Structure 1
Amino acid sequence: MGLTGKLTAQIEYKYWRRCFHEVFRYMPHEVSMSPELIQGCDLLEGDLGGVGSIIYWKYTHDGTETVAKEIVDAIAEEKEGDMMELYKKFEPTFHVDAHGDVDLVTWTFEYEKLHDDVEEPLSLLGLCINLTRHIELHHLNKKP
């Protein structure tokens, strides 16, 4: 099996699609609304939503407390942290699109494993799917 890979998942999103994007860009602290998944995030440098900003995430992955340093690049995000113990390159991205009357959140992981023994990041993709559902439910419950 190769060391490089790409995983993609699409999830239907029933709340205003811009909201999902705006939560991650301008209000990442609100992602902590799911404390069993995300325990917190701290802005280390720059402005929220700005290119060059650095955010330090604390989250639980497969029952283990994990950290990641996110550096916001022009469009994509580059991550550092616990994932770098397994992957030479790990670049998660997401976008939200309308497909007819349905909004879809698409998560994509492009990665290069350090060696063949490293598993594909399927459980981390599952965490992102769960997080998407938590954010949606949080906003649907607040809907007037």
Structure 2
Amino acid sequence: MASSALTGKVEADVEIKASPEQFHDMFTNKPHHLHHACNDKIQGCDLHEGEWGKVGTILNWNYVHDGKVKKVKDVIEAVDPDKNLLTFRVVEGDLMEEYKSFRITLQASPKSEGSGSVVHWTLEYEKLHQGIDHPQTLLQLAVDISKDLDAHLTKPN
């Protein structure tokens, strides 16, 4: 059996009104505030080790996926403020019950016309076995979180 059938990548773009910098800053430097924007999806994010927004930092997340409360521990692998890019690698938690490896990259870019941004999500993974679904519902969760965060970032004070 070829291992390539177990590896995959799912991607989505989300148009938002917030600037790329606002979106990137929230995920990179203030993920512990995300639950204010979408507490039905993200219940909390705690700093396990390191500093907010720095490569090598380890974060613990509590989130809701498919109606169940789940946990994940991830390491920040890449931060590029110039490109508003952030990459997490999952090291522990519920996802590791189904995936050998799981990497999440989000990048916010300015829209070609007008204001706002396009957030590009990439989930790269290796499943433990063939019986595991591609993480489409997780990708949808990322899209929904992006929309909630956008509403939070752009609402009038």
Regarding TM over 0.5, the answer is yes
Identity %: 37
Q: 2:108 aligns with which of 96, 102, 105?
A: 96
Is 1:117 aligned with 2:131?
A: yes
Shift of 1:74: 3.5
Q: Describe the shift of the 1:103–1:39 C-alpha distance in structure 2 as closer, same or farther (beyond 3 A).
A: same
Q: Equivalents in 2 of 1:94, 1:105: separation in Å? A: 7
User: Could you tell which deviates more after superposition, 33-42 or 69-78?
Assistant: 69-78
Q: Equivalents in 1 of 2:78, 2:149: separation in Å? A: 24
Structure 2, unmatched stretches of 5+, are: 80-86
Is 1:64 aligned with 2:68?
A: yes
Q: Equivalents in 1 of 2:53, 2:104: separation in Å? A: 16
Residue identity in the other structure for 1:78:
R
Residue identity in the other structure for 1:79:
V
Q: Equivalents in 1 of 2:49, 2:105: separation in Å? A: 20
SS at match of 2:5: coil
Shift of 1:141: 1.0
Count of residues in Structure 1 that have an aligned counterpart in Structure 2: 143
Shift of 1:123: 0.4
SS at match of 2:59: strand
Q: Equivalents in 2 of 1:88, 1:126: separation in Å? A: 21
Residue 33 of structure 2 corresponds to: 30
TM-score under structure 1 length normalisation: 0.94
Residue 14 of structure 1 corresponds to: 17
User: Cα RMSD over matched residues?
Assistant: 1.4
Residue 84 of structure 2 corresponds to: none
TM-score under structure 2 length normalisation: 0.86
SS at match of 1:71: strand
